[in-house]
Chain A
C-alpha cells in the first residue's frame, strides 16, 4: 500500500462480495492515491468489473469497508449519491441515453444533479465534446454515431460532472478494432492531465503507457500488484505469466 502524505482517494479494506454462494470479491484491500492511474487486468470472471462497480456502489459489498473521497459507502443511499457525483464511470456498452441528443446526454446530469442553468451546462458540454473532438455531432442522437464516437461521448458526459475520479469498465472491449485507438488516445490525454483513474482493460499498451500500477486479479483476489514495467517483464505469480502469455501484444 503506498504511504503517500495525501489521503487516498479510494480506500478499500478487506472487501468481500458474494453472488449467492459465489465469492466474487475475496478480501480486497486497495488504496488509490489522488492523480494515480491504476489498471486492473485478469481473466474473465476474476472480479475486475465487480471491484470497480463497488467503488461507486453500482454493486453493494458485503464485508469490509470502502471509502471514496472521505465518504464511507455503508449502505446509506445519500452517501452513495454523493460519491457518484465525484466519480465518473465509462461502461463497456457506453450506456448513452438513446432518446437524448449528444448534447442533452452531456447536460442531463449537470442540470438535474448539480442544478446548473442550461446555458452553463451547454457551455461545459461543448467544452468537453471539443476535448474528445466531436463537437460537430452535438445535435445528433447516439444511434447515428460510430461505436468509438459514442464511447468518446460517454467519456465527455462523465467529465461534465467534473469528477475527481474516473472509472473505466473495459471501455474498448465492445469496439471495432479500428476504433479502439481513438478512445485510448482520449484516455491517455485524460491520464496526462492528472485525472485519478481506475481502468479495467486488456489494452496492455495503454497500461504500459500511462499506468502507475497494474493490478492482476484472479478468482476474486488481487494476485499481483506492480509497476507496469516490472509486471510485464517479470510477473511474479504463475497465473499472471500464463495470462500474459495468452495476450497478443
Chain B
C-alpha cells in the first residue's frame, strides 16, 4: 500500500521523506540537550527572549542546527566528488578544532613544549615503531611459513607462539619482559624491552595475515613454478610472496598504524616517547589536556603519513592486475 503510494507520487514522497528526516534530526538534537546559548552570540537581540523561554530556545536551537545541516548537505551535493571529499574533511576538521578550542587551551604552553615533544617524543616513537615493524615482519614471515609446514614440531612452535602472544594484553607483555627477564639474569633496558614486546605481539598478529596471504595463492602457481625446476624457497620468494603481497599489504598497513599508537604503551616502563612526554610535561604546570591533545594530533599526523605510504605500496603491488 505505502510502496504503491510512494511509486505513484515520487516527488511528494521525496519531499515528505526529507521533511521527516529534518524532524528526526531536530528531535535527536533536542534530546541530546543542545544549548540555545549560541543563538544569543549570533543575534544579541534575542538574549532576553531566550532567557524567558529556555525550552522554546532549545527547540529553536535544535531546529536551526538541523536546518544548517540540511543546507550544508544540499550545498555539498552540487560539488564534484573530489570537492565533496575535501569539503567534508575541512568541515569536520574545523569542528574538531572548535571542540578543542572550547577547552580554553593555553597555546603559549603548547608552543613552548611542542618542540621538545617532536624532537624527543616523535623521534623515539618513530624509531621504536620502525624497528619493531621490521622485526615483526621478519617474525611474521617465518611464523607463516612455519604454520604452513608439514613438520609437527615446527607447526607446534608456531601455533604456541601466536596463541600466547595474541592472547596476552600487550601491556602485560611489556611488564613481563621488562620485569621478568631480569629474574632469569637478563637485565634489559626499557627501550629494548618495549621493542621486543611490540615485535613479538605484532609478529603474532601478522603471522596470521601472512599465512592467509600465502594460502590465498592458488596451488597451480606453486605447481607451475615447481614444474619449471624452481626450488621451494625460490618458488616462495619469486612467485608466491609477490602475489601474496597484494592480500597482505592492506591489513599489514592497519597493523603498522595500530603499532604506532600501541607504542604509547611503552611509556609505562619510562621510555621518553610521545605519550610519556605528554603525561610528564603537562604535570609541571598542571596543563594535562594541552599536552594530551597535542600528542593526539601528532599520532594522527603520523598515522596519516603511514596511510599514504600504504596506499602507495598497494598501488605498486597491484599494477599487474590490469585487464
Chain A residues proximal to chain B, CB less than 8 Å? 56, 58, 81, 84-85, 87-89, 91, 93, 95-100, 108-109, 112-113, 141, 143-144, 157-158, 161
Question: Once the chains are docked, how many angstroms separate the CA of A47 from the CA of B229?
Answer: 24
Q: Are B321 and A143 in contact (CB under 8 A)?
A: yes
Q: Are B230 and A89 in contact (CB under 8 A)?
A: no
Question: Once the chains are docked, how many angstroms separate the CA of A81 from the CA of B225?
Answer: 11
Q: Are B322 and A143 in contact (CB under 8 A)?
A: yes
Task: Give A112's nearest chain B residue, CB to CB.
Answer: B234
Question: Once the chains are docked, how many angstroms separate the CA of A91 from the CA of B322?
Answer: 23
Which residues on the A side are within 8 Å of B230 (C-beta)? 108-109, 112-113
Nearest CB in chain A: distance from B138 CB, A: 22
Most buried by A among B224, B225, B230, B322: B224
Nearest CB in chain B: distance from A161 CB, A: 6
In addition to A84-B228, A100-B320, 20 A-B residue pairs with Cβ atoms within 8 Å of each other are A81-B231, A84-B226, A84-B227, A91-B227, A93-B220, A95-B223, A96-B224, A97-B221, A97-B225, A98-B243, A99-B242, A108-B228, A108-B239, A109-B228, A109-B230, A141-B320, A141-B322, A143-B320, A143-B323, A161-B228
Nearest CB in chain B: distance from A164 CB, A: 13
Which residues on the A side are within 8 Å of B301 (C-beta)? none
Which 3 pairs, one residue from A and one from B, show the smallest C-beta to C-beta distance? A95-B224, A109-B228, A89-B227
Question: Once the chains are docked, how many angstroms separate the CA of A87 from the CA of B226?
Answer: 11
Chain B residue total in the interface (Cβ 8 A) = 20
Q: Are A91 and B223 in contact (CB under 8 A)?
A: yes
Given known A81-B231, A108-B238, contact A99–B226 (CB-CB < 8 A): no
Which residues on the A side are within 8 Å of B223 (C-beta)? 58, 91, 95
Which B187-232 residues have C-beta < 8 A from chain A? Answer: 220-221, 223-231
Given known A81-B229, A81-B231, A97-B221, contact A112–B322 (CB-CB < 8 A): no
Given known A95-B223, A97-B239, A98-B243, contact A144–B322 (CB-CB < 8 A): yes
Q: Are B224 and A97 in contact (CB under 8 A)?
A: yes
Task: Give B223's nearest chain A residue, CB to CB.
Answer: A58
Q: Are B227 and A99 in contact (CB under 8 A)?
A: no
Which residues on the A side are within 8 Å of B226 (C-beta)? 58, 84
| B220: contacting residue among A84, A88, A95, A113, CB under 8 A | A95
- Can you show 22 pairs from A to B with CB atoms below 8 A apart? A56-B227, A58-B226, A81-B231, A84-B228, A87-B227, A88-B228, A91-B223, A95-B221, A95-B223, A96-B224, A97-B221, A97-B243, A98-B243, A100-B320, A108-B230, A109-B228, A109-B229, A112-B238, A113-B234, A143-B321, A158-B227, A158-B228
Which residues on the A side are within 8 Å of B227 (C-beta)? 56, 58, 84, 87-89, 91, 95, 158
Which residues on the A side are within 8 Å of B225 (C-beta)? 97
Task: Give A100's nearest chain B residue, CB to CB.
Answer: B320
Question: Once the chains are docked, how many angstroms separate the CA of A132 from the CA of B49?
Answer: 89
Which residues on the B side are within 8 Å of A157 (C-beta)? 228
The interface bits of chain B over 295-321 (1 if a CB of A lies within 8 angstroms of the residue's CB, else 0) are 000000000000000000000000011
Which residues on the B side are within 8 Å of A158 (C-beta)? 227-228
Nearest CB in chain B: distance from A145 CB, A: 11
Question: Once the chains are docked, how many angstroms separate the CA of A75 from the CA of B243?
Answer: 29
Question: Once the chains are docked, how many angstroms separate the CA of A144 from the CA of B224?
Answer: 19
Nearest CB in chain B: distance from A110 CB, A: 9
Nearest CB in chain B: distance from A155 CB, A: 13
